Chain A
């Protein structure tokens, strides 16, 4: 094991898969000569050449569609959105083309494609650049939705996504790129399967389910609460579709309480989906209503004080956990 940033873990995943399979290519805005808007593709142009690391004009719908067409005809594209916010102008290709093609064609055309890029809030980039799209893309059958929090998960899940024959929406936490963590040594070729949650911290009093950016805030809160005698079990589903609800339910049956913490807006989405499943499948085991701590239900403001409050805060997470324990 060694320490690697989330960014470099993703970079390694792409490089290893491109080296392994010549049908894999990377396409997007500024991925080549600029080395990536967030430097995830640093060095890849130099190593693999402009035929496989392809800069595009600002035309998300166009290059997302080119990716799907290439996937239909035997290639394995990695399509980078400079941010997932820009995928709105290409959502027709992600949903109507990529997600539906295999079924619409009666099981003929597989779409082995990864759409990836930074997701959710960063720092003061305003409402059009701060959205978390997990709530949208999880709604569509035919897509896998992956959202790693740690560098190790980022690498292992991205490699897996590239090798799978289905379209994958791969959400990277924009604020997480510099985050460092342990990653298996080069050449370890770790592939992390989808639909398997990771228990990030074992505990006995309450199950906290979280993913993406708030994962780190939750881990901090859990540490603080431990000092106060409260034991949190933290579960990161890692993939939101498929969702490993069995692991979540199993944990809730042990702790009898559940809090879901996420960055997408509170209306619907995987956050609400998890609550639904827990209430149905662990109804007899619950000692309190399943609660959620989320971003506030407003478009992201620019002003720093407001932004800090809209993004699911440490205080709200702590308060919600205490509430579920009837200690607030």
Chain B
């Protein structure tokens, strides 16, 4: 049990007649970089919301960081990190103020906050910019900072929702260096992305189609199974038959 960051069995979310997430079952190991892929409309966000303790499942079971998604949602929130493209940090607070704010929410003591602040600012090379408003930073810096803040309390798992969307190619790779570093530190990384080359950096990938998980394996095995050269081809094979998609 200790070894699993996420355990999910027949997890389902239904809105009226519409089954957004249809009996998904999977496990994520501690320290794994797990890619959670799927076309838009496949049910990824709905599934993630349940796993982050933000929404009650309709049926099925799941534990995240050892806590139950039905009765222990607040505990889940305390033990995970979360970052998305849509929201990362407060634009009109400075870098230091954001670190203080989120660190506080995650329950860090004043002393820990001080230490972590320094460490974070130094690691990212933001010493000169520490008092600047986050809104003034280039996107790439914001994203790297947001990720670092999301793991400031060394959570068991960090959920990343399309963290590298629109970012320049060098920053994208620096971001993945940060992800690798976190995974090496024992933090499980649960990431969704539209960049198929990033799928290759994951230990395992799942691909959701129409509310179900239609594939779950290492990138190498998936490519073999679908006789594909790239993850892009695998994704295309699975996603194009979807009834629920951007089309």
A binds B: no
